[in-house]
Chains A and B, each alone.
Chain A
Amino acid sequence: MSNNILGIFDGSDIDGITALIDKLEKSSFDYLRLEGDGVKIAIGKNGVCESTEASAAKTLPQAAIPAAQTWAPANDAPAAEINSPALGTAAPVPAPTEQTGTEAAPSGAVSEQAGIFIVKSPSYGIFYAQSEPGAPAYVKLGDTVQKGDTLGLLEIMKTFNAITSEAHGEVARIHVQNQEVLEPDQPLFSIKIK
């Protein structure tokens, strides 16, 4: 191994980073960020990541702002806003299909089953599982959610919209990764109705 990978880190740096990854892996935390003189290290697990450098912190909004805000253009300003109205389109509960069990099929082929509510993406956009890098995810597997609870954020043209649950139930399946680019009607969450 080169002692100076990419001209940025030397061997001892790599050892240090490996140790950090190891520590994070074993810890109860999902995300670690260290900043020093001109260097920033960000490590995440369980889908929590910061692939967009410092900019993500700038463009990501604060968590759920409760009052209903509206779509807003943001042409030359770095501002971003959150919209709260329920945008997460949810499919009606269909008749049972031949598929059994609660495990949904892989992405793109999520079947709708009795007692399972599938929250789908309302449009193209970028999905955020958390309010900002390092913050806990809005929901995780097994969480109980109420109708109207925020499950994630959808960024579209610099505006942020809450994706909300249209059902009361348990998060049975999460079909989407943090910062994944979404397509309309893409399944995001399976909610086991209570």
Chain B
Amino acid sequence: MKISRILVINRGEIAVRIIRTCRVLGIETVLAASEADKDATGARLADKTVVVGPPPVSTYLNIPVLMKTALEAGAQAVHPGYGFLSEKPELARACADNGLIFIGPKADHIHKMGNKLVARTLARECGVPILSGSERVNAFEDVLKVVEQIGFPIMLKAAAGGGGRGMKIITENERDRVRPIFEEAAAEALAAFGDGSMYVEKYIPNARHVEVQVLGDKYGNVVHLGERDCSTQRRHQKLIEEAGAPNISDAQRSEIRAAAVKLAKNISYESAGTVEFILDQDTGKFYFLEMNTRIQVEHPVTEMITGVDLVQEQLNVADSGALPFTQEDIHFNGHAIECRINAEKPEENFRPTPGVITRWELPQGPGVRVDTHCHHGYKVPFFYDSLIAKLIVHGTDREHARRRMLAALDEFSVEGISTTIPFLQKVLKTPDFAEGRVNTRLLEKVL
């Protein structure tokens, strides 16, 4: 491997995750950390930590400073993790300009998939099903024209969107309010993404979120590593993810996996990526939603059932390596579930709870994995998101994994701050979840 030292420009559990694989591979790590993160586990595990700025989020978005840090540290490559700059083509280009390897896909792929309208077109061109909808709509009159063709309900979406910003559902009853809803959504998208471009898609009320992990190299090889179900969401934020997706037919599973590979192959995708689909539970049909051109938060469930280290393969592919396996070499073993544990107080409307962790005892045992940057005495800063740990379990089947998760959550002991652990236990015990009747609206019933 040419890469012998990398700069990690992220924080939290994903920084720890990346550093762990590098330690296994004998790659030195330099962590670019904000002042608020120098006490996190990532900084303890990295070979070297460079404080690159003050606590706010902007420290992890400052491309010139991060490039300078990489060059001064003698790193050959940069790993962006997820969030922050990971899906900014500007970072991939800046790496190229500075002679650094970007551990991720090509800037062009990030750019194209970052625009949801372009991504929709690419999917349609290679025969991957997309929801009926529109190209860019510039005014509410355009929205009404689309409605004439596809009917209500519809979903207004931001072309540059993500995380629910600029997204609005419009039902038949709101026919008279299309104008204000459209204008509000466009303004919200503009404020959040600096781009108010909107489009329309048919809204699927009874839906599941199913995504496929793909890996590609620069020699045109693409494999999938199976699908994940991420339907258990609250306000468009995933809380529980699992691999594989429960209660779908073998035919659906094969089709959805093949569609993801087709899209990735068609654009000669390199590195790890995730193709997201919406599954209409009323019709059994699935539709392309978007492609994420980075490592996902929920990647460990895929690792648990395939045995593939996704970060290792990102490094391998970035270093011009070929994928060391073909599709036939990938075998799926059992079932895995991940719970995102957040520093929040569910009974107070999920109020964030930063503060000092005074007790931190992690669950252990067969099939249990915890990815976290926290430790006893760690001060959870208020500058960043509330994810403090990911608890991942593997079981021989879904029910085994669910029971293992419940036992592990019970063993997970945190004091000093409130966490979502009790809420997750409640969700896992619902008959709907227990029987695999997951749905993007499942949590509405629990709350």
Q: Which residues of A are interface residues toward B (Cβ below 8 A)?
A: 51-62, 65, 70-81, 83, 85, 123-126, 131-132, 156-159, 181
Q: Which 4 A-B pairs have the closest CB atoms?
A: A79-B163, A77-B163, A157-B352, A62-B191
Contacts of A124 in B (CB 8 A): 354, 382
Interface residues of A: mostly helix, strand, loop or mixed?
loop
Binary contact track B332-352/A, C-beta < 8 Å → 1, others 0: 000000001011100011111
- The reply to whether A70 and B235 contact each other, CB–CB distance below 8 Å, is yes
Bound: A58/B348 CA distance, A: 27
Say which residue of A61, A76, A158, A181 sits within 8 Å of B192 (CB atoms): A61
Contacts of A131 in B (CB 8 A): 191
The smallest beta-carbon distance between B436 and chain A, in angstroms, is: 24
Q: Quick check: is B236 within 8 A (CB to CB) of the other chain?
A: yes
- The reply to whether A79 and B165 contact each other, CB–CB distance below 8 Å, is yes
The smallest beta-carbon distance between A145 and chain B, in angstroms, is: 23
Give me 22 A-to-B residue pairs in the complex whose CB atoms sit less than 8 angstroms apart, sorted by A's number: A55-B61, A56-B58, A57-B194, A71-B351, A71-B352, A72-B234, A72-B350, A73-B387, A75-B297, A75-B385, A77-B162, A79-B162, A79-B164, A79-B192, A80-B165, A81-B235, A83-B349, A124-B354, A126-B56, A126-B382, A131-B191, A157-B354
The smallest beta-carbon distance between A74 and chain B, in angstroms, is: 5
Say which residue of A78, A79, A125 sits within 8 Å of B382 (CB atoms): A125
Binary contact track B304-328/A, C-beta < 8 Å → 1, others 0: 0000000000000000000000000
Contacts of A55 in B (CB 8 A): 57-58, 61
- The reply to whether B382 and A70 contact each other, CB–CB distance below 8 Å, is no
- The reply to whether A158 and B385 contact each other, CB–CB distance below 8 Å, is yes
- The reply to whether B344 and A78 contact each other, CB–CB distance below 8 Å, is no
Bound: A48/B284 CA distance, A: 52
Bound: A156/B354 CA distance, A: 8
Q: Which residue of chain A has the shortest Cβ distance to B346 in the bound complex?
A: A71
Q: Quick check: is B433 within 8 A (CB to CB) of the other chain?
A: no
- The reply to whether A72 and B235 contact each other, CB–CB distance below 8 Å, is yes
The smallest beta-carbon distance between B255 and chain A, in angstroms, is: 27
Binary contact track B52-95/A, C-beta < 8 Å → 1, others 0: 00011110011000000000000000000011000000000000
- The reply to whether A62 and B192 contact each other, CB–CB distance below 8 Å, is yes
- The reply to whether B192 and A58 contact each other, CB–CB distance below 8 Å, is yes
Contacts of B50 in A (CB 8 A): none
Given contacts A61-B192, A62-B187, A62-B192, contact A75 B237 (CB under 8 A): yes
The smallest beta-carbon distance between A16 and chain B, in angstroms, is: 22
Given contacts A70-B235, A70-B349, A158-B384, contact A77 B58 (CB under 8 A): no
- The reply to whether A157 and B385 contact each other, CB–CB distance below 8 Å, is yes
- The reply to whether B62 and A53 contact each other, CB–CB distance below 8 Å, is yes
Q: Which residue of chain A has the shortest Cβ distance to B189 in the bound complex?
A: A62
Q: Which residue of chain A has the shortest Cβ distance to B162 in the bound complex?
A: A77
Binary contact track B416-441/A, C-beta < 8 Å → 1, others 0: 00000000000000000000000000
The smallest beta-carbon distance between A115 and chain B, in angstroms, is: 32
- The reply to whether A71 and B349 contact each other, CB–CB distance below 8 Å, is yes
The smallest beta-carbon distance between A157 and chain B, in angstroms, is: 4
Bound: A158/B386 CA distance, A: 8
Q: Which residue of chain B has the shortest Cβ distance to A182 in the bound complex?
A: B382
- The reply to whether A75 and B165 contact each other, CB–CB distance below 8 Å, is no
Bound: A2/B141 CA distance, A: 57
The smallest beta-carbon distance between A191 and chain B, in angstroms, is: 25
Q: Quick check: is B296 within 8 A (CB to CB) of the other chain?
A: yes
- The reply to whether A80 and B192 contact each other, CB–CB distance below 8 Å, is yes
Contacts of B382 in A (CB 8 A): 123-126, 156-157
The smallest beta-carbon distance between A164 and chain B, in angstroms, is: 16
Contacts of A76 in B (CB 8 A): 82-83, 296-297, 385
- The reply to whether B83 and A73 contact each other, CB–CB distance below 8 Å, is no
Q: Which residue of chain B has the shortest Cβ distance to A135 in the bound complex?
A: B191
Given contacts A55-B61, A81-B235, A158-B384, contact A73 B342 (CB under 8 A): yes
Contacts of A74 in B (CB 8 A): 163, 237, 385-386
Bound: A54/B342 CA distance, A: 27
Q: Which residue of chain A has the shortest Cβ distance to B167 in the bound complex?
A: A79
Bound: A52/B235 CA distance, A: 27
Q: Which residue of chain B has the shortest Cβ distance to A87 in the bound complex?
A: B351
B165-191 interface (Cβ within 8 A of A): 165, 187-188, 191
Say which residue of B188, B348, B354 sits within 8 Å of A62 (CB atoms): B188
Binary contact track B184-211/A, C-beta < 8 Å → 1, others 0: 0001100111100000000000000000
